[in-house]
């Protein structure tokens, strides 16, 4: 008997990892919606569960493996289809089928999902994990997940060509490809129509966005950004992630020019040691990086600057680590994502650069990085006291019904008193009255 694609079935989606995975989960929801799967946020009511996975570090993979075995436990008591998607699906393939998954689908295989789910409904296991050089899913309109963030993530490019020596992404997400300008603008228009107030343009390396149309005309990231800013003056626009080597002044000038493009740049440092950066194949040294920071400060004086950094890469010495701390201090980041190095099978580093920093040393260095950033975040927030910011309201504050939470352009959370006219999406001028490491408190002026 053929599976009945018209009856209502319920789909539960669980997302791990980066913003690209959140955007992909919204695509998966759209694709499975066409064959009768309606989203649910109740696992107990689901006929199928999709786990969208991340391979960036080993602990991310271990968490998913634990989750998969829990789901297999649930499947012993009732019929449920278990699909594993995303980077782990691409990297591990068949191994996940033998660990109990019914469906395995990599990031470029989501158009196969109707077929894969039809097979699974008949009790057959299936896998689709070919990488594509062209797939951007540009014709599909993502479906908002029940858990979606305030901002709507708009994927503008997929994949990565950088091959940083430690990174698994080029292997799990394939080569860089940019999505058409038209399809990006159309997607943003639907978000605006649906009452969204903010969008975030996302890609592994957004500043190498480069779309070539049929006439051979190319659009750079700076051009795309100004186009989006001009067409959607009422939306706040953010973007992530930027690679320091591609963070050109024309992008900075575009950010400075448009009031609706947020003054915030996430600029991954990774390491403060030029020797380590070379081993990482990052294509910049510390002087180049600091020159970018100076340009940001010059062109966008009130820009928020955040980063990614990790310790314990191959051969990292105490001196290299101190350099990282010194650069963090010199830049004075507003916040940071901080990690320890996790060797990923198949990368250049796994093949050629020994994972030789002992676990206890990695741990201690990470604690030092976190302690420093905690102080830097507090100092950054303290500098904002008595200043006035445009704050976009995102919703009720978690701790009190009489307060709302919003965000500055610099991407800092601000808590202020609620008022009847303060609706989600409104932008108000707020004077900061006090600060903690994580939040600013303010009053409307
Ligand atoms: N180990 C630790 N951190 C990593 N990152 C990427 N690959 C690894 C790895 N193998 C970090 C980088 C990157 C962020 C998304 O994750 O800081 O910017
Ligand atoms: Fe990984 Fe480097 Fe590409 Fe970022 S730029 S996804 S760290 S290879």
Which ligand does the CA of 313 lie closest to? 1
* Strand, coil or helix: 149: coil
Q: DSSP label at 354?
A: -
Q: Which of 234-243, 393-402, 407-416 has the lowest mean pLDDT?
A: 393-402
Q: What is the pLDDT of residue 5?
A: 46
343 Cα–ligand 1 center, Å: 10
Instruction: Determine which residue's CA is closest to atom 5 belonging to ligand 2.
Output: 162
Q: Atom 7, ligand 1: which residue's CA is nearest?
A: 167
> Could you tell me the pLDDT band of residue 7, with boundaries at 50, 70 and 90?
low
Q: Given a cut of 50, is residue 4 above it in pLDDT?
A: no
Share of the chain above pLDDT 70, in %: 98
Choosing from 205, 310, 312, 336 the residue with most ligand 1 atoms within 8 A of its CB, the one to mutate for a pocket test is 310
Which atom of ligand 1 is closest in space to residue 167's alpha carbon? 7
- Which pLDDT belongs to residue 159? 96
Model pLDDT, residue 3: 47
Closest listed ligand to the CA of 164: 2
Residue 266 CA to ligand 1 center (angstroms) comes to 14
Note the pLDDT of residue 302.
96
For residues 52 and 14, the answer to whether their CB atoms sit within 8 Å is yes
How far out from the chain centre does Cα 246 lie? 18
pLDDT of the residue at 1: 41
Phi, then psi, of 52 in degrees rounded to 5: -95, 115
Q: Which of residues 65 and 5 earns the better pLDDT score? A: 65
Taking the CA of residue 270 as reference, the ligand 2 atom at the shortest distance is 7
Nearest-atom index, ligand 2, CA of 205: 5
Nearest to 267 by CA among 201, 199, 221, 333: 333
Is 263 within 8 Å of 303 (Cβ atoms)? yes
Report residue 410's pLDDT band, with 50, 70 and 90 as the boundaries.
very high
Judged by its nearest atom, the ligand closest to the C-alpha of residue 158 is: 2
Is the pLDDT confidence value at 445 over 60?
Answer: yes
User: Which atom of ligand 2 lies nearest, measured to the CA of 204?
Assistant: 6
- Closest ligand 2 atom number to CA of residue 163: 8
In tens, the pLDDT along 412-430 reads 999 999 999 999 999 999 9
What pLDDT does residue 108 have? Answer: 96
pTM given for the model: 0.95
Task: Please check whether residue 200 is in contact with residue 240, taking contact to mean a CB–CB distance below 8 angstroms.
Answer: yes
- Write the pLDDT tens digit of every residue in 265-281: 999 999 999 999 999 99
Ligand 2 nearest atom to the CA of residue 173, by list position? 6
pLDDT, tens only, 280-305? 999 999 999 999 999 999 999 999 99
State residue 148's pLDDT score: 77
Return the percentage of the chain with pLDDT > 90, whole number. Answer: 96
> Does residue 399 surpass a pLDDT of 90?
no
Q: Which residues contact 263 (CB under 8 A, 6 or more apart)?
A: 255, 256, 300, 302, 303, 304, 409, 410
Rounded Cα–Cα distance for residues 280 and 124 (Å): 42
Residue among 101, 72, 74, 75 nearest 89 (CA) = 101
Which pLDDT score is estimated for 2?
47
Are the CB atoms for 321 and 290 separated by under 8 Å? no
- Backbone φ and ψ for 49, nearest 5 degrees, come out as -130, 135
What would the mean pLDDT of 146-167 be, rounded to a whole number?
92
**Ligand 1 lining (C-beta closer than 6 Å):** 56-57, 166-167, 268, 270, 308, 310, 339, 341-342, 344
C-alpha angle 393/40/109, rounded to 5°? Answer: 95
CA distance 15 to 149: 12
Q: Give which of 157, 253, 169 is closest to 205, Cα–Cα.
A: 157
- Under a CB-based contact definition with an 8 Å cutoff, are residues 411 and 381 in contact? no
Name the residue of 159, 168, 170, 174 to mutate for ligand 2: max ligand atoms within 8 A of Cβ.
170
How far does residue 373's CA lie from ligand 1's centre (Å)? 17
Average of pLDDT values for 103-126?
Answer: 96
Q: Which band of pLDDT confidence, cut at 50, 70 and 90, is reported for residue 149?
A: confident
The residue contributing the CA closest to ligand 1 atom 16 is: 56
Average pLDDT, the chain: 95
Closest-approaching ligand to the CA atom of 205: 2
Distance from the alpha carbon of residue 160 to the mean position of ligand 1, in angstroms: 14
pLDDT at site 401: 87
Let me know: does 22 contact 55? Beta carbons within 8 Å.
no
Ligand 2 atom 1 nearest Cα: 167
Distance CA(204)–CA(222), nearest Å, equals 16
**pLDDT per position as a tens digit, 121-146:** 999 999 999 999 999 999 999 998 87
d(CA 157, CA 178): 4
Contact 213, 220 (CB under 8 A): no
What is the pLDDT at residue 233? 97
Q: What local confidence, expressed as pLDDT, does residue 384 receive?
A: 98
Ligand 1 centroid distance, CA of 259 (Å):
32
């Amino acid at each position: 008997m053929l599976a009945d694609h018209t009856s209502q079935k319920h789909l539960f989606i669980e997302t791990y990892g980066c913003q690209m995975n959140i955007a992909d989960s919204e695509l998966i929801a759209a694709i499975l919606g066409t064959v009768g799967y309606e989203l649910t946020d109740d696992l107990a009511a689901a006929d199928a569960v999709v786990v969208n996975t991340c391979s960036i570090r080993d602990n991310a993979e271990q968490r998913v493996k634990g989750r998969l075995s829990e789901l297999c436990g649930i499947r012993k008591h009732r019929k449920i289809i278990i699909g594993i998607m995303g980077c782990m699906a691409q990297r591990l393939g068949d191994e996940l089928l033998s660990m109990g998954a019914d469906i395995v689908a990599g990031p470029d295989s989501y158009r196969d999902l109707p077929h894969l789910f039809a097979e699974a409904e008949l009790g057959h296991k299936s896998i689709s994990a070919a990488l594509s050089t062209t797939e951007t899913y540009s014709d599909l309109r993502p479906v908002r997940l029940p858990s979606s963030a305030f901002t709507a993530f708009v994927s503008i490019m997929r994949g990565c060509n950088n091959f940083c020596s430690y990174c698994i992404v080029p292997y799990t997400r394939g080569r860089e490809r940019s999505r058409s300008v038209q399809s990006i603008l159309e997607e943003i228009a639907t978000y605006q129509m649906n009452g969204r107030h903010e969008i975030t343009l996302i890609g592994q390396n957004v500043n190498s966005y480069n779309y070539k149309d049929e006439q051979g005309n190319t659009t750079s990231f700076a051009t795309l950004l100004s186009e989006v800013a001009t067409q959607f003056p009422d939306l706040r626009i953010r973007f992530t992630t930027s690679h320091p080597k591609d963070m050109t002044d024309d992008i900075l000038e575009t950010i400075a020019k448009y009031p609706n493009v947020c003054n915030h740049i996430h600029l991954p440092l990774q390491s403060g040691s030029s020797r380590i950066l070379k081993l990482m194949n990052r294509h910049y040294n510390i002087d180049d990086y600091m020159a970018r920071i100076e340009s940001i400060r010059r062109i966008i004086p009130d820009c928020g600057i955040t980063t990614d950094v990790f310790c314990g890469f191959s051969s990292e010495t105490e001196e290299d680590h101190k350099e990282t701390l010194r650069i963090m201090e010199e830049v004075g980041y507003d916040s940071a994502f901080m990690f320890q190095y996790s060797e990923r099978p198949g990368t250049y580093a796994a093949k050629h650069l020994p994972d030789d920093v002992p676990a206890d040393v990695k741990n201690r260095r990470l604690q030092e990085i976190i302690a420093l950033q905690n102080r830097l975040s507090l100092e950054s927030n303290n500098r904002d006291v008595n200043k006035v910011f445009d704050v976009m309201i995102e919703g009720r504050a978690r701790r009190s019904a009489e307060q709302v939470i919003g965000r500055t352009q610099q991407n800092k959370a601000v808590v202020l008193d609620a008022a009847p006219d303060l609706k989600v999406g409104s932008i108000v001028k707020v004077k900061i009255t006090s600060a903690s490491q994580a939040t600013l408190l303010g009053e409307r002026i």
